[in-house]
Each structure stands twice: as C-alpha cells, then as structure tokens.
Chains A and B, each alone.
Chain A
Amino acid sequence: MARPLIKTLTAATLFAAVSVQAQVAVVESTPIGGQAARTSESYVDDSSTPATAEALPVNVSADRFYQLQLLQQEVLELRGLVEEQAHQLKRLKQQRTDDYLDLDRRISALGNGGAPLAAGDSALVLESGQSGRATSPAVKVAGSDAEAEAYRSAYDLLKQRQVDQAITAFSDLLIDHPEGKYAANAHYWLGEIFLLKNDLESARQWFTRLLDGFPGHRKVPGTQFKLGKVYHLLGDMEKSRALLDSVAATRSDAARLAKKYIEQNFQ
C-alpha cells in the first residue's frame, strides 16, 4: 500500500513542478489562478525543505480518502438504483404476463362461439323484460336475432327446393314477428313460391300485402315487377302494365327486367 502511494505522490510533485512555470504567468490576473499558483509554488519549495515535505502526503491521502468516500457513496447510490430498476423490471414482466394471460383468456372465450356472451344476453333480456319499459331495445335486438335465425332456416329450405316446408317456415316467421325486419322478405318469398307453384291468387295477395305493408322497402321494385307479372298471367293487362311501367321508370335492377317483360309481352 505504502509504496505505490509514494510513487504517485512523486509523480504528482513532478507534475506540479513542471506545470508551475506556465501557471505563474496568470497569477496576477485572476484570484482563482492565484490560489492554484500559490499551491504550486509551495510544492516547488517543498522539494528542498524536508519539514514541509511531510505535510504533503497528508494532504494527498486526505484527498484520496475523500475521493474514495465519494466513490463509495456513488456506488451505494448506483446499487440502490440498479436494485430498484431490477425490481420495477420484475414487476413489469409479471404484469405483462398477467395482461397477456388475461387477453388470451378473453380471446379464447370469444373464439368459443361467444357462448358465454350469448348467455349473458339472454340473461339481460330476461332481467329487462321483467323490469318493463326502457328495456324494449334489448328485447327487440334479441327478438331480431331469433327472427334472423328463423328467416335463415326458412330461406335454406327454399334453396333446397323444399317448397312446402319453406311456406310453413315463412308463415311461422310472420306469425312470430309480424313487424320484424325480415317480414317484407318473407312476404316476397311467399309470393315468389306461390308464383312458382302457379298459385297466382296467393302470389298476388302476398305481393300486394308487401306493397301495402312495407312501402319504401328495398324489395318494393322487385315486388312491383313480380306483381305486374302476376296480373299479366291473371289477364289483368291494365294493372299489369301500370305496375310494370312504374317499375321501369325507376333506377333499380327490377326496372331492366320490367322493360324487357314489357317488350316481350306488350308490343
């Protein structure tokens, strides 16, 4: 310990002695420089007088001790910082895992056909149904879900050409949801089915009910075309032509069909 210390002290003294000449020049100009210069000067003198040479290591070792203390304090504080950040990191990691697991659970619940959600919905309906007004939106939403289901199955029957079952299914749908959002479509398909079966009177009734009950529905032009066709087949040329002309005047898909039908049958 002692020997390296002396070595560094010697080096420090030499360095001070060398640098002193340069510093002396600025002594007079600034008080701070003056302080430094005076110290340097005493260093130069020290080399010749042993009495003051003893004071030197004390100064420097006190300085070293001070430096060591500063470093130790710095290390303590850095260690504290590292510990705290490691702790925060650990917590964040844990939180991330927790969040991920939570998200994963929710997504897989959704993936399972939303079964729990649907259950929640029907519970809501039950509850709100009992409590009365203000809840009608919920009831309606739930009602249209059941209606959509019924409509889809009726339409599937039609696509499979199970015509009679389709008639029953659409009729049941209209009994359960006479004002539902698929009611107009049900009317249309019933008219279409009866037209297909060549039951013109029934077809006429369904198409007429649709036009009377759902004015402004997007099925209206198509229905007018079909009803015009029905009247034509029934032999009522006047009503047929009136309907077909009004459809042809629109900008719907049915207009093209109506014009073609007029061309083929009325000229």
Chain B
Amino acid sequence: MNHLRHISALFRLSVLFAACLTLFAASAAHAQLTIEITQGVDSPTPIAVVPFGTPGQLALPEDVAAIINADLRRSGLLRPLPKDDMLSFPRNKYEISFRDWRILGAEYLVIGNVTRSADKYSVHFELFNILSQRTVHSQTFEAGLNQLRDLAHYAADQVFEKITGIRGIFATQMIYIEAFQNGNEAQDKFRLMLADVDGARPRLLLESKQPILSPSWSPDGKQVVYVSYETGRPAIFRQEIATQVREQLTNFKGLNGAPVWSPDGRTIALTLSKDGNPEIYTLDLASKKFTRITRHFAIDTEPNWTTDGKGVIFTSNRGGKPQIYQVTLASGRIERLTFEGGYNARPRVSPDGKSLVMVHRENGVFHIAAQDIASGDMRILTETYLDESPTIAPNGAMLMYATRYRGKGILAAVSLDAGVKFRLPSKQGDVREPAWSPFID
C-alpha cells in the first residue's frame, strides 16, 4: 500500500489534522481575518480616495473610503495615497484643485457621498483622471442598511475595472474551514465559514466536532457542497447559504470526497471508493444518479471541471506518481497534462480555461504552481512550503491558498503572474481549504 501514502492534499490533510497542535482560543467570537500585503507590483498606479461626505451628523457604521482604499491596495496594482497627505477633501467636482492632486502624485481621484434614508444607504461616487481633468466614471447605487460594506466593495470594483480593465473581485466572498484542535479530540471543533474576500464579516455556516473538508461553491454562488464526518464517516452534503437548508448527497462505505459543482450547476463530480479504490464519479443532482468516470486500480481523486463542463481534470497516480489528467466525458479519453516534477495534485482550472493551478512538489517542498495548458510551461507562484488547496478568483487574476505561517494554518493570496502577494492571518485556530466564490450579481 506504499502508493497510498503519495496521494493528494486530501490525504495529507488528514495527517495535518493529527499533527496540528494549536492553542484553543477560548473566545468563540468569529475573529476576522486581517490582511498583510507582502508583495506588490513595482510601480502601482497612485490613486487618491477622499473620505466620503455625509450630510449633517450622520455617523456611518463603516468608513466607505477606507474600505475602497484597502480593496485597491490589496489588488497590488493601485497605490492609494494616505489620507494625511491630502490637502483637501472635496465633496464635488467644483471643489477639486487638480493642481494640488497632481503635486501629490495622484493619477486618479475618487470622491463620493453617502446618504441614508429610512431603510437604505445610497452611495454616489465619481472617478477623475487627474492629468486630463476629466470624469472617468460616476455612479449612484443603493442597498439595505446592513449592506454598506457591499456598496463600498462594489464602488471599489467599478474603480478597479475602469482603471485596469480587469473585472474587480472585491465584492466576492470565500468559504473556508476553521479548525480548533488542541490534541484532545473531545475538544476538537471544526467550522465552515463564509466571509467577504477581504476576510471581513465572517459568518458561520456549520460547526461540527468532526472534520469538515473540501468546501466548494455552486456556480450561482447560492449553495456550497462539502465533506463532513459528522455521521462517523465521510459523507457529502450540500447546503443553501441563505436558508442553511442541508441535504446529504452520499453515504457510501469508504471514501466520499472532493465534491465540485459543474459549471452548469446540474452535476457534481466527486471521489468515491465504494467499488474498491478511489475513482471519479459524477452525480446528477436531479436524478441522484451516479456515473463512474474512471476505472483504474490506481487512485483517482480531486476532480475539477473544465470551463466548458465537457471534461474533468483530476489527480491520479496511475503513472506511478501523482500527476494531473484530463478525461473527456463524452469519449472517456484520458490525457495526462503535467510532466514537470514528481508530484502535481489538486488541480484547478482558471476561468479562461487556459491555465491550471496545482500543488507542485519540488525538492520535497509543496508550492502552488500554474501551468499554461497549451504550451505546458509551468511556473511556481509561491515560495512558502506546505502550500495547498489553491482556489482561483472568478476574474482569473488572483488565487488564494492555504499555507503555514508562524506555526498556524492561514490563507494567503498571490496574483497569477506572481507579482502581488498577501496573507490573511487568523487570530484563532487554523484556517484551511479556501474556496473563492464565483461573481455574485
């Protein structure tokens, strides 16, 4: 059973469970993940986001401009100027002295106002190009009283897209697992969490004394699917985020793992070992019918859909070492995709379908690597070790992954060109297995 030892992050995770000795944080409050930017691009575009105006003495629960600033800075492509350097806080375009902003070195300027009515906030903002002294974009939008953060993220998305041409991902969310293990199994606690992608507003989706694994989004962003050991053995559940309604999808003997939703939302690909050893299956959600996709005495696991939904990419050690393969569902034809190095696992396909990110082992160290599918060129994106569970942002520009930092499991992010990096350290427990949401409209 020597080959069993090799396979996949999934297997390594269970080892981690046993090995992690993290002090149990007594406060059960959901600590927010805070962001530390560790690397940005060489010359990010300077931008000034002026504190937003409010009528009268209206006290806001959130500092909208600060949220936008933090979002833009995290992108690594823009460099917001500090508030203290600003000579004035213009509220409308007639109050803007373009000369002052040019001297400050800003290329763009954002001004805005927040107003509140009985049941909603309304945000108006304008984006200026300092050099041409023109309005690039202006917009007004509104949302419920508990959604001021959403409005700020939405404004940041708009600003980012207008300047860089890349769709912003600041309004997206992520799910992840929080694990509290102090060596005494009776006190173990696992949580499935949902948060804004900046780590703010964490929300509990599920808490269990037994491990929770492999969370994955439905393509409409309304449901999640995951593995839970709450029944005493691994079983796959799906859960609606808004209603918390859950449904158990599998209850087979052996391994029930690595569920991922198909792009059309109708099918889930997963790993089952009910027929002897781990194989890839698909589950039709309407008919509840399972279809076996792979047949091999080697381990096949960690399925992921191609962007067109016609194929499944998975990890297999059928070549003696874990490598990434693609099966075309219609023909059953299997093709190996990775040839660099002796360990490539946990594949995820970028939204444009052109790249693959994976866990790649080099000199005994686990990195996140990206591979151009057509050319086969691979580049390593992360320099830390024990990196796992990469998940790609819906705009394809960044990816998040789980890693170890100061002895704790944390989330970190890196741009697909490896130019921008940041960490989201957690204050309590180990954080692992992030899954980046699709665009939520």
CA distance A84 to B319 in the complex (A): 9
Shortest CB-to-CB span from A56 to chain B, Å, is 25
Chain A, range 81-98, C-beta contacts under 8 Å to B: 83-84, 87
Q: Which residue of B lies closest to A76 (CB)?
A: B320
Size bracket of the A interface? under 10
- Binary CB contact string for chain B from 303 to 331 against chain A (1 if under 8 A, 0 otherwise): 00000000000000111110100000000
- Binary CB contact string for chain A from 72 to 114 against chain B (1 if under 8 A, 0 otherwise): 1100110110011001000000000000000000000000000
Chain B, range 344-378, C-beta contacts under 8 Å to A: none
A84 and B297 contacting across the interface, CB-CB below 8 Å: no
- Binary CB contact string for chain B from 44 to 61 against chain A (1 if under 8 A, 0 otherwise): 000000000000000000
CA distance A84 to B3 in the complex (A): 19
CA distance A80 to B323 in the complex (A): 9
B224 within 8 A of A: no
Partner of B3, one of A73, A79, A83, A87: A73
Q: Given A72-B297, A76-B3, A76-B298, do A83 and B336 touch, yes or no (CB 8 Å)?
A: yes
Q: Which residues of B contact A80 (CB under 8 A)?
A: 318-321, 323
B11 within 8 A of A: no
CA distance A76 to B323 in the complex (A): 12
A79 and B318 contacting across the interface, CB-CB below 8 Å: yes
CA distance A84 to B318 in the complex (A): 12
B336 and A87 contacting across the interface, CB-CB below 8 Å: yes
Chain B, range 195-215, C-beta contacts under 8 Å to A: none
Q: Which residue of A lies closest to B325 (CB)?
A: A83
CA distance A185 to B200 in the complex (A): 92
Partner of A84, one of B2, B298, B317, B339: B339
Q: Which residues of B contact A73 (CB under 8 A)?
A: 2-3, 320
Q: Which residues of B contact A84 (CB under 8 A)?
A: 319, 339
A contact set with B: CB distance below 8 Å: 72-73, 76-77, 79-80, 83-84, 87
A-B contact pairs, 25 of them (CB 8 A): A72-B297, A73-B2, A73-B3, A73-B320, A76-B3, A76-B298, A76-B317, A76-B318, A76-B319, A76-B320, A77-B319, A77-B320, A79-B318, A79-B319, A79-B320, A80-B320, A80-B321, A80-B323, A83-B319, A83-B323, A83-B339, A84-B319, A84-B339, A87-B336, A87-B339
Given A83-B339, A87-B336, output 19 extra A-B contacts at Cβ < 8 Å: A72-B297, A73-B2, A73-B3, A73-B320, A76-B3, A76-B298, A76-B318, A76-B319, A76-B320, A77-B319, A77-B320, A79-B318, A79-B319, A79-B320, A80-B318, A80-B321, A80-B323, A84-B319, A87-B339
